[in-house]
Structure 1
Amino acid sequence: MDVLSDVLAAMRAGQPYAGRSTCSAPWGVRFPASDAACCHIVLQGGCSLIPAGGAPVPMGVGDILFTGPQHAHTLSDQPDSPAVDFQPNRGSGYSVVELNIPGRGATTEMLCVCYTFDLARPHPLLDTLPPEIHLPARVGNHSALRTTVDMLGTELHQPRSGTNAILPALIDMLLLHVLRAWLDEHADHTTGWATALTDPAIATTLHHIHHQFEKPWTVEELAKRAGISRATFAKRFTAAVGQPPLTYLTWWRMTTAARLLHNTDTPIHTIAQRSGYRSEYAFSKAFKREYGIPPNQYRRQRPATATQRWIPQTMAT
């Protein structure tokens, strides 16, 4: 996998859910601050984003809105329309949520996806994302993203054999394409993850760290692989990623180890070796320093694996 795919895997927590909404004026839906990032796509009609602070942002057909976790917002046909809280009755595993608000006015249809992030240990990329990313519909812009939206909308509207497997993949694709679009628009910034993923030297370093994190990397060796001097490399990496190279290496090792502890039964001594530690004791000490508890206790606290399935649900007012 590439670095952006790795980052997405590191941020993921729980299962995403998606749905179509049909709302007739007057209407409004409040999305509370939570650990979920949301994507809203206008399929028909129009609405306004009402952020927690700031002026309303009008949205038309084809517009895509990404809202980061912990950012409350409201969507409505008019800023002063009455609003209901978005509180879907979610079941275990994947779910499809249908939201219908009847009314006598113009109808707006939307596609909405919510994606839960691990905020207890968020990836540094989250810190650089704005509260809202608005991608207006423009002919020729982000064609792969538009294709993904069409495919996701079709699967939600007409579920068929294989939908259970296709939907999670499409939700991942949607988020990746939104992040790509934002990164492309900010590629000329001098710092931040938009630079980290487009700067050949830093992107090469991240690739080595993500895919060979068991190696005893030094700043000198990473700088050599990046093709720049040690001092220049350390400064550029820290500015782009938000952490010094070896600090990020340790962060990635522990994040990957935690996923293995939660999601697999791999022996701890094997995880230690894969994480670049010569002994289970050294690994356990480093893990406890990061998470506050030893790896065996962390594993015992892992949640029971839920059966992944799509549960059609309705939230009507």
Structure 2
Amino acid sequence: MDVLSDAIAVMRTGRPHSSRTVRFAPWGIRFPASEGAGFHVVLQGTAWLLPSDDSTPLRLGPGDVLLLPHGTGHGLADRPDTPLTDAVPAPDGSWATLPDRGPVGADETLLLCGSYQLSRGRAHPLLTGLPPYVRIPARVGAHPRLRAAVELLGAELAEPQPGADTIVPALLDTLLLYLLRTWWLAERADLSTGWSAALSDPAVAGALRALHEDPARPWTVEELGALGGLSRAAFARRFTALVGRPPLAYLTWWRMTSAGRLLRAEDLPLRTVARRSGYASEFAFAKAFKREYGIAPGRYRAAG
């Protein structure tokens, strides 16, 4: 198990959606805020991001990728002054496609766009720490895996083949992970503080991997520190500074977050969920769960 994959897994609530569309100038779309996350890739031409807070518009050129990790409302247009038309999603979260032909001589923009359905109820701090807009500019030779995922997704959407219903969602999940990995580990991540630093710090990253791989184990701070060759005190200080909470407090939070997902995603007996969450008895688990969520596990499952 790894932290980045887990952070996405506990928030995912449904199938992602995507589209490959041509826009003919003049065009402008206003996307409402959503619970999920979204992205835009400019495959050809240019587009302008128009932030919902009326801050400075951002020009996107060929190959630029824009990730909106918090589902922030925004506009996208051929020019900053083009009027916007509200985009209305279908009930399944997908967006309507436009005709592939426009006025003769009109400037064309080819876009690859997508959305992910995520729950914000137990959002992992790995995601909540991201800015509203994450732009990954096109650079020759940079981020080859991310570019390969974009090309594969674009090809599947342009010419659907047998198996596309399975391939496209898998590619979308892959693309999201590559986008996040690129941002944290290679693009603008500040390696002095926060989760980018936590993922890059051998001792803290090793402890996080261990906690995620075996959350039911009765970990001690000494054991976690020893994984990275640090004393208990030194490890506790470093982990708390980078992650934002002490090691065992994070472990409890992660156990409860994972338990909430298990209760609603899988039809497991309560005793099994308790055991996977590191509790020897259903009673102890139920007490800890209610303290964290304000509701008993059974009622939480029924409400989902």
TM-score normalised by length of structure 1: 0.90
- Post-superposition Cα deviations, 1:98-143, rounded to whole Å, max 9, x if no partner, equal 2459754311110001112211111111221011111111110101
Instruction: Look up the SS of the partner of 1:89 in the other structure.
Output: coil
Higher relative contact order by CA 8 Å / sep ≥ 6: 1 or 2? 1
Q: Which residue of 2 aligns with 1:43?
A: 43
Identity of aligned residues (%): 52
CA distance, structure 1, for counterparts of residue 25 and residue 189 of structure 2: 39
Instruction: Look up the SS of the partner of 2:115 in the other structure.
Output: strand
Q: 1:179 corresponds to which letter in structure 2? A: L
Alignment of 1:256 onto 2:223: no
Q: Is the CA contact 2:89–2:95 (under 8 Å) kept in the aligned structure 1? A: no
- Post-superposition Cα deviations, 1:243-296, rounded to whole Å, max 9, x if no partner, equal 211111011111111111111111101111111111100000111111111111
CA distance, structure 1, for counterparts of residue 89 and residue 191 of structure 2: 38
Q: Which residue of 2 aligns with 1:29?
A: 29
Q: Which residue of 1 aligns with 2:211?
A: 209
CA distance, structure 2, for counterparts of residue 109 and residue 90 of structure 1: 25
Q: Is the CA contact 2:48–2:60 (under 8 Å) kept in the aligned structure 1? A: yes
Question: Closer, same or farther in 2 for the Cα pair 1:182/1:210, shift >3 Å?
Answer: same
The aligned length equals: 300
Q: Which residue of 1 aligns with 2:223?
A: 221
Q: Which residue of 2 aligns with 1:282?
A: 284
Runs (5+) with no aligned partner, structure 1: 303-317
Runs (5+) with no aligned partner, structure 2: none
Higher strand share: 1
Instruction: Look up the SS of the partner of 1:40 in the other structure.
Output: strand
CA distance, structure 2, for counterparts of residue 231 and residue 174 of structure 1: 39
Q: Which residue of 2 aligns with 1:168?
A: 169
Q: 1:218 corresponds to which letter in structure 2? A: T
Q: Is the CA contact 1:20–1:97 (under 8 Å) kept in the aligned structure 2? A: no
Q: Which residue of 2 aligns with 1:132?
A: 133
Instruction: Look up the SS of the partner of 2:10 in the other structure.
Output: helix
Q: How does 1:37-76 map to 2 (within 5 A)?
A: 37-53=37-53, 54-76=55-77
Q: Is the CA contact 1:17–1:97 (under 8 Å) kept in the aligned structure 2? A: no
Q: Which residue of 2 aligns with 1:147?
A: 148
Instruction: Look up the SS of the partner of 1:189 in the other structure.
Output: coil
CA distance, structure 2, for counterparts of residue 229 and residue 86 of structure 1: 55
Offset of 1:226 from its aligned partner? 2.4
Question: Closer, same or farther in 2 for the Cα pair 1:70/1:173, shift >3 Å?
Answer: closer
Offset of 1:183 from its aligned partner? 0.8
CA distance, structure 1, for counterparts of residue 96 and residue 271 of structure 2: 42
CA-atom RMSD, angstroms? 1.7
Question: Closer, same or farther in 2 for the Cα pair 1:68/1:188, shift >3 Å?
Answer: closer
Q: Is the CA contact 1:187–1:198 (under 8 Å) kept in the aligned structure 2? A: no
Offset of 1:159 from its aligned partner? 1.4
Q: Is the CA contact 1:260–1:271 (under 8 Å) kept in the aligned structure 2? A: yes
TM-score normalised by length of structure 2: 0.94
Q: How does 1:297-312 map to 2 (within 5 A)?
A: 297-302=299-304
Q: Which residue of 2 aligns with 1:306?
A: none
Question: Closer, same or farther in 2 for the Cα pair 1:188/1:238, shift >3 Å?
Answer: same
